[in-house]
A = this chain, B = another copy of it.
Amino acid sequence: MSLKARILIDCNDDKGLVYKISKLFFDKDLNIEDNQEFVDVETNRFFMRTVISGKFDPEILESELLVALPNDANIKVIMPKRKKIVLMATKESHALGDILIRHQDDELDAEIVAVVANHNTLEELVRRFDIPFFHISADEMSREEHEGVIIDLLNEFEFDYVVLAKYMRILTPNFVTHFTGKIINIHHSFLPAFIGANPYKQAFHRGVKIIGATAHFVTNDLDEGPIISQDVIPVNHRFDWTDMQRAGRDVEKIVLSRALDLVLTDRVFVNGNKTIIF
């Protein structure tokens, strides 16, 4: 039976890498359906994403690649399957709603395992889509206690990514470390402009003529993780900060959904504090 896999490889750059990898595919009579490579000159690192099809055993293929490639190589043979995601939100519905509609429409190659929110504002919306909603209020809890409850809840699920769809609380290093490389956030500004609280107010007071949004992996530096996707829209002096916020919502939701789609289709490599997107 013919299978298909996405193969992600990164290792220190060296002569013959493409040759060794393509030889292995050729020897196994596999077809290369798509192939993209990149060498980061600064770190001398080679990145490759290949879609292959043919008859193969994924585990054997992975072990053969391990043998063929240098010791430092990261190799993933990813078989097509719906990834699982947890959404976290607060009160605003635009980013969450956009994902729910795509999910309902089967446009998103993911299963939404749960929505977790620190307010119950969005419960009604989420329930309309028959998706489990968990309201975990932060009232009368320390930040650590609150996150502890969320971590315990998340640990009950199996999931690939946590998507912060306008979750408006800052996460502690403990939380981030718990789910390293798995948390995607949408920041409501064109980072690194307007880091921190209320970027639209900051943008309004600075008098910018363009506003934007940034989807990124979350690391322990506030609004500083590897950027996956960004976009912008023009504004003018007729926009007060709530107008900017309103206009910005469209950018936020599109940028987050685009980043999510890239991640779900295994197109994103993290390279230090940057991303490589195939």
Q: Interface on chain A toward B: helix, strand, loop, or mixed SS?
A: mixed
Q: Which of B15, B19, B97 touches A19 (beta carbons < 8 Å)? A: B19
For residue A153, CB closer than 8 A to chain B, the reply is: no
| Copies of chain A in the complex | 4
Interface stretch of the complex, out of A22-30, A75-83, A170-178 = A22-30
Q: Which of B15, B191, B254 touches A208 (beta carbons < 8 Å)? A: B191
**Residues in B neighbouring A33, C-beta threshold 8 A:** 39
**Residues in B neighbouring A271, C-beta threshold 8 A:** 237
Q: List 8 A-B contacts (CB under 8 A).
A: A15-B30, A18-B18, A35-B37, A36-B36, A94-B101, A207-B274, A210-B232, A250-B254
Residues of A in contact with B (beta carbons under 8 Å apart): 15-16, 18-19, 22-23, 25-26, 29-42, 92-94, 97-98, 100-102, 104-105, 107, 125, 128-129, 190-194, 205-210, 212, 226-232, 234, 236-238, 240, 246, 249-250, 254, 257-258, 271, 273-277
